[in-house]
Amino acid sequence: MFNKNFVWGVATASYQIEGGAHEADKGLNVWDVGSATKGRIFEGHSGDVGCDHYHLFKEDVRLMKELGIQGYRFSINWARLIPEGTGKISEDGKRFYLELLEELKQAGIQPWVTLFHWDYPYALYQKGGWLNADSPKWFEEYAGVCAELFSPYVSHFILINEPQCFLGLGHSSGEHAPFLKLPDSEVMRAAHNVLLGCGLAEKKIRKICGNSVKIGTAQAYWPALPYTENDVELAREETFTCHKNFGSVNYYTDPLLLGHYPEDVLAWQKECGFAFPESDMEIIKSKFDFYGLNTYTGDRVTRENGKIVYPKPAPTVPRTDTRWTVHPDAMYYGPKFIWDRYHLPIVYTENGVALAEWKDLNGQINDDSRIDFLKRYLRELSRAAEEVEIDGYFYWSLIDNFEWAEGFSKKFGLIHVDYETRERTLKKSAYFFKKIIETNGEEIWK
Ligand code: PNW
C-alpha cells in the first residue's frame, strides 16, 4: 500500500530532451561540446534537437495531464539560463522555464526541479569546472537565481543528479562529458567542491524560500542485494562500502547528511594525499527534506570463505536493453538500508527500463515487458512502503530520449518519439501507468 499523499510522477533531464542547443543566447555546456566530438557517442548522435521539447513542451505537458501525472521532475539547463554560468541571465532561458512552469501549474502538476543534471556550462568548464576552488560559489549563485525566479512555482528542488555518474563516469573513467580521466586525488577534489556547492546551495535556497520548498538530491543507487534473508546484513554493509571508487551513495550523503565522510573514504583520501579544512564540513552538512533515489537494479552478493563475492547472475535472470539485471527486490532492500542510515522520507526520483522495441505495423508500441517490469518493481516498493516512509515514485522517463553515450539507441520512455517528425505516441505502458496513478498503485496487483 502506498500512502495517501504518495506522488506519482515522471522524470526527464534537460540535455536529454530539450534540443534547442543553439537557440537565442544560450551558452554551450560540456555535452553540447562533447557530443560534437566524434566517436564518443553511439553513431555520432547528439542532443542538439533531441525530442525538441524546447519547442514542444506544451504538447508534452498536455500528454502528462492526459495521463494524470501528479509530479514532473525535470532539470534546468544551467547555460540556457545563465549563458556564461555566472552573471548575466538570459531573457530567453528565463522565459522558457517560466512558461513551462506556468503550463505545469495550469495542468495541476507539481514541478520537481533538478538544478544540475550533468550539462555543466562550458564557460565554467574552461575555468576548471568542479576543480576550480570557486566552483561551489558558482553553483550557489546559480541555485540562488533559480530560487529567486522559479520558487513561486516549485514544490521541490533537487540540487544535483547522481554525483556517482558525473564524477565517476565524467571525471574518472571518461565515458561521459567532460570525458576526463583524472587521478583519484583530483576527482576527490571535484567531489568535495560538489559537496561544498550543495551545502551552500541548500542554505541559499532556504534563505530565499524559507520552508516553501522542499530540498534534496537524487543519488544513483545500486544496492547490494542478498540471496537469502541470512545475507541481509552483509548486503547492507556492502552497499555502504566504497571500494575506492566514486559509485556509492554514502560517499556523498554521509558528508551532506551526517557531517562526515565514511571511514573508508577518509582512509582512501589520506592515501591519495587529499586533505581539506575541517571547517568545510560545516558548510557541507545540510538539512534535506527527502532522500531521492535513482534505482534500476542491484547486484547480489554473498560470502565465500569469509570474503564478499559478487557471483555472476544466472543466465535465467532477465536483462533489459541496457543489459542491467531485473532485480525487483532492489526496491525492497534498497529503501530499507537508506531509511535505517539516514531517517529521511524516501522518494524514487528515477526507476525504469529500456527495451528494444519499435512501433508495430498498426502504429502501436505494445511494451508488455515494461508493464511487467513496473508491476514487479512496484510490488517490491509497496512491500518496503509498509516498513519505511516512501513518498513518491518518478518513472524514468516520460519520453524516449538521448541516453548519454548510448545516444537515442536506448528507449526508456512511456512515450515514443519519431526522431524525424518528433511525433509523440503513447505506449501501452503509458496507459498502464495512468491506471496505476488512478488507483494509487492498486493496479499493480492485477
Ligand atoms: C541515470 N549506471 O543514469 C540518469 O540520471 C539518467 O539521466 C539516465 O538516462 C537514466 O539513469 C537511465 O540510464 C544512470 O550504469 C546511468 O550505474 C548509468 C548508471 C546509473 C544511472
CATH class in words for 7-445:
alpha beta
Position 39 scores a pLDDT of 83
Residue 37, pLDDT above cutoff 80: no
Tell me the per-residue pLDDT of 328-369, one tens digit each, with 9 for 90 and over: 999 999 999 999 999 999 999 999 999 999 999 999 999 999
Distance 225 CA to ligand 1 centre (A): 19
Which residue minimizes the CA distance to atom 16 of ligand 1? 165
Tell me the per-residue pLDDT of 150-174, one tens digit each, with 9 for 90 and over: 999 999 999 999 999 999 999 999 9
Residue 38, pLDDT above cutoff 80: no
Distance 277 CA to ligand 1 centre (A): 32
Q: Exposure of 137 by Cβ count < 10 A (0-12 exposed, 13-18 middle, 19+ buried)? A: middle
Residue 47, pLDDT above cutoff 80: yes
Tell me the per-residue pLDDT of 73-123, one tens digit each, with 9 for 90 and over: 999 999 999 999 999 999 999 999 999 999 999 999 999 999 999 999 999
Give residue limits of the domains in the chain. Answer: 7-445
- Distance (Å, rounded) from C-alpha 84 to C-alpha 114? 19
Ligand 1 pocket by Cβ (under 6 Å):
13, 16, 161-162, 165, 220, 222, 294, 350, 396, 403, 412
Which residue minimizes the CA distance to atom 13 of ligand 1? 403
Position 35 scores a pLDDT of 73
381 confidence band (pLDDT: 50, 70, 90): very high
Q: What is the percent of the chain with per-residue pLDDT over 70, rounded to a whole number?
A: 100
Position 353 scores a pLDDT of 99
Distance 396 CA to ligand 1 centre (A): 9
Atom of ligand 1 nearest to the CA of 403: 9
- Residue in 278, 244, 243 with CA at minimum distance from that of residue 259: 278
Atom of ligand 1 nearest to the CA of 222: 17
Q: What is the percent of the chain with per-residue pLDDT over 90, rounded to a whole number?
A: 98
Tell me the per-residue pLDDT of 293-329, one tens digit each, with 9 for 90 and over: 999 999 999 999 999 999 999 999 999 999 999 999 9
Q: What is the mean pLDDT of the chain?
A: 97
Concerning whether 350 is annotated as a catalytic residue, the answer is: yes
Q: Is cis: bond before 397, omega within 30 of 0?
A: yes
Position 232 scores a pLDDT of 98
Residue 173 is classified by DSSP as S
H or E stretch covering 261: none
Residue pair 244/214 in contact by the 8 Å Cβ criterion: no
Which residue minimizes the CA distance to atom 21 of ligand 1? 220
Q: Which of 17, 118, 165 to mutate to test the pocket of ligand 1 (most atoms within 8 A of CB)?
A: 165
Q: Exposure of 125 by Cβ count < 10 A (0-12 exposed, 13-18 middle, 19+ buried)? A: buried
Q: Which of 114, 248, 350 to mutate to test the pocket of ligand 1 (most atoms within 8 A of CB)?
A: 350
Given 141, 162, 238, 357, the catalytic residue:
162
Concerning whether 357 is annotated as a catalytic residue, the answer is: no
Tell me the per-residue pLDDT of 61-79, one tens digit each, with 9 for 90 and over: 999 999 999 999 999 999 9
Atom of ligand 1 nearest to the CA of 118: 7
Distance 126 CA to ligand 1 centre (A): 25
Given 350, 357, 380, 443, the catalytic residue:
350
Mean pLDDT within 182-191:
98
Distance 361 CA to ligand 1 centre (A): 31
Distance 230 CA to ligand 1 centre (A): 30
Atom of ligand 1 nearest to the CA of 161: 5
Residue 388, pLDDT above cutoff 80: yes
Distance 74 CA to ligand 1 centre (A): 14
245 confidence band (pLDDT: 50, 70, 90): very high
Position 34 scores a pLDDT of 81
Which residue minimizes the CA distance to atom 20 of ligand 1? 220
Which residues make beta-bridge pairs with 204? none
Residue 252, pLDDT above cutoff 80: yes
Atom of ligand 1 nearest to the CA of 218: 5
Q: Exposure of 1 by Cβ count < 10 A (0-12 exposed, 13-18 middle, 19+ buried)? A: exposed
Atom of ligand 1 nearest to the CA of 397: 9
Residue pair 390/347 in contact by the 8 Å Cβ criterion: yes
Q: Which letter, b or e, does each residue of 309-334 get, where b requires 16 or more Cβ atoms within 10 Å of its Cβ?
A: eeeeeeeeeeebbeebbbbbbbbbbb
